[in-house]
Every structure is written in C-alpha cells, then in structure tokens.
Amino acid sequence: MDNINIKKLAKELNLSTSTVSRAFRGNSDINKETKERILHLANELNYEPNHYASNLRERKSRTIAVIVPEIANNFFSQAINGIERVAREKGYHILIYLTYDDYEKEVSFINNLNNGRVDGIIMSVSGEANDHNYLNKLRKKKIPLVFFDRVYEDIATAKVTTNDYESSFLATKHLIKGGCKRIAYLVVNKKMSIGKMRMQGYADALTKYEIPYEEDLVVDCSNEHDANYETIGNIIKKVKPDGIFASVERLAISTYYVCQDLGVKIPEDIKIISFSSLEIAPLLNPSLSTITQPALDMGTKAAKLLFKAIESGSDLTVNNVVVLNAEIIKRRSTGR
C-alpha cells in the first residue's frame, strides 16, 4: 500500500475505476452514497488524483508560467502577487521562471514550455532579443501569451502596460517646472522598447520646453549596483546635471547612494524622480518623487486576459493592449 491510486481504491471498495474516477469529477452521474463512500476512503487513505495522469489524459495542465527578469524587485513581486490571486481563484498552479534579462534563458524557457506543460504564459520580456520567432511557436501550439510592462512590439499578442510615454513626459515636465535645466536620463537598456518609450517622453518634454537635448545626459547603466554607482558618480561629478530622471527604480537608489557619499544635496543641488514601486518612497531621505505603476493591478489584469483566452480557447492576437495609468507622486526629492 505504498502508492495509492485509483485502482487500489476501486478494488478496496469493490467498484470499478470509472466509478471512483467519477467521484472526483464534478459533473458525472454517480450515486450520492457511493460517492461519499469513495471520498471517505480516499480521505482516509490520503489519496489525491495524480495530476500528471489527468493532465496527460485531459491534455490540460491547469498550470500557467510566469516569466520575469527578476523576482527580488518591488515591481515584479507585486505583479506576481496580482497574478497569483487570479490564478489561485481559478484553481491554477504557477510556475516561475527568472530570465535575469538573459535572452538565451528566455528562449530556452519558452521552448521548454511549448509542449503542454502549461496552458498559458505571462511574461515580462528580457529585452535583449532580436529574433522573436520562438514566440510564434507558441501560437502554433495554441498556448496563449500575455506580455506585461516589458513587451515586444513585433509580437502580436495581449499586452498590459502603463502610459510610459505620457508619464515620462510629465515627470520630465515636473523637473523642468522645478527649475531643472540639465536633466540626466538614466536607463538600463536603451534598446528595450520600454526604455525607448520612456526616453521619448523625456526627449519630447525637453523639446516642448525648449531645453536642449544633450547626448551626455542620457546614461546607459546596468543591473549591477557597483557599476551603476560608478557611472552615475561620474556623471554627477563631470556632467553636473541639476535633475535626474531614473527610468528604473534601482537607478534612483544608486543615485541616492552616490549623492549621500558625494555630499550632493537632494533636492537643493539635484532633483530626482524615478519610476518606482517602492512602497516606502515617502520614508527615504529625502522622500522620493515617483512614477508609480499599478503593479498589482497589472498582474491581475494580465492574468485575467490570459484566463479569458485559456477558457475561451480564443486567440489573443489582436486588440488586446491594455494601458493602465501610472501615477506621478511628487515628494521632497523634486523639491516639492
């Protein structure tokens, strides 16, 4: 009696496996008493249907995959939280994959997922990619895909984003209105569509308010604090901006450390605003002005879109771009 299964259960009860199986499915015809007898013994013997056998038989996994660049990150962990709530409600399981912004990893995850392992995928893309053909394979296998926040423009599928262009424009405008004349734009990956959108908002705001765009003020950073610390330190020392727009939370953090160590005063010497999902932005020294995306909602929304597709078996290829609003919250770091 090591591994209990439907057969042993059936034998124990002098029933057929079909009848036992029926006891665990919602709809089927089955006598109430038999059903209770079965469930009772099952509980006693600690029997649970084997998911892999069911999945194989039903060609359905009741599992989704969530692919994100990283998890130790306020934005993504909040988004996953949102996804989880919806998935749990639907009785789905969640597989997590982290790309660390590595294109190869992303490709390999996707390829690995295209054979029935999951019923759908929610992804925030790594962004280093050029060839996105591996994603088209999913379509052939009818596995729905939803992008959130970081998307590939050239792939037609559901997308949940925020109004990156507009909020960047407004954030830049806010700095300008605060008196900034030389605003640095910090970005992790210029080539990423999200980086581009945000940068365009920045650039257009400069134009609109007749501030010259300076190549030197657009700073390509990385994901590592130490390198960023140095890069940003150099910019502040040499290029001397009076405002900083961080397109990503971690760059604002590095900037804070740099300013702290250099004795540069925020907001007196330099003003800072950043895309950020940091819940304690008000507690920083000084409190940080943020463009805050509705991370949890984005996760929820992405999950809902995915399940709509899963449940209807329909395609996600068109008219499925949801754009939520990010909120600009002005605090001390921009002089408020």
Partner DNA sequence: TTGTAGGCGTTATCAT
Partner DNA sequence: ATGATAACGCCTACAA
Binds its own copies (CB under 8 A): choice among 19, 21, 114, 300: 114
Residue 302 CA to residue 160 CA, distance in Å, equals: 6
Residue 318 CA to residue 321 CA, distance in Å, equals: 8
Q: In the complex with its own copies, which residue's Cβ is closer, 71 or 321?
A: 71
- Provide the minimum distance between the beta carbon of 200 and its own copies in the complex, in angstroms, as a whole number: 29
Taking the mean position of all CA atoms in its chain, how far away is CA 103? Answer: 16
Q: Does 256 bind its own copies (CB under 8 A)?
A: yes
Q: Does 120 bind its own copies (CB under 8 A)?
A: no
Q: Does 284 bind its own copies (CB under 8 A)?
A: yes
Q: Does 285 bind DNA (CB under 7 A)?
A: no
Q: In the complex with DNA, which residue's Cβ is closer, 114 or 292?
A: 114
Query: In the chain, what is the straight-line distance between the N-terminal and C-terminal CA atoms, in Å?
Result: 70
Q: In the complex with its own copies, which residue's Cβ is closer, 56 or 323?
A: 56
The interface with its own copies within residues 146-185 (CB under 8 A) comprises none
The number of residues in the chain equals 336
For 81, phi then psi, to 5°, come to -55, -45
Residue 205 CA to residue 328 CA, distance in Å, equals: 15
- Provide the minimum distance between the beta carbon of 150 and its own copies in the complex, in angstroms, as a whole number: 18
Binding-site string for DNA from residue 52 to residue 71, where x marks contact by CB under 7 A and - marks none: -xx-xxxx------------
Binds its own copies (CB under 8 A): choice among 29, 72, 238, 263: 72
> Position 269: which residue type?
D
Residue 336 CA to residue 319 CA, distance in Å, equals: 39
b/e string for 13-35 if b means 16 or more Cβ within 10 A? bebeeebbbbbbeeeeebeeeeb
Q: Which does 292 bind (CB under 5 to 8 A by kind): DNA, its own copies, none?
A: none
Helix (H, G, I), strand (E, B) or coil at 73: coil
Q: In the complex with DNA, which residue's Cβ is closer, 53 or 321?
A: 53
Binds DNA (CB under 7 A): choice among 11, 25, 88, 141: 25
Residue 256 CA to residue 333 CA, distance in Å, equals: 10
Query: What pairs with residue 323 in β-bridges?
Result: 161
Sign of the CA dihedral 122, 153, 277, 305? negative
Instruction: Tokens 């040499």: give the residue.
Output: 238
Stretch that binds DNA, among 8-16, 65-73, 179-187, 210-218 (CB under 7 A): 8-16
Binding site for DNA (CB under 7 A): 3, 5-7, 14-19, 21-22, 24-25, 28-31, 34-35, 47, 49-50, 53-54, 56-59, 115
Binding site for its own copies (CB under 8 A): 3, 46-53, 55-56, 61, 63, 70-74, 77-78, 80-81, 84, 88, 93-98, 111-112, 114-117, 137, 140-141, 253, 256-257, 260, 278-280, 282-287, 296
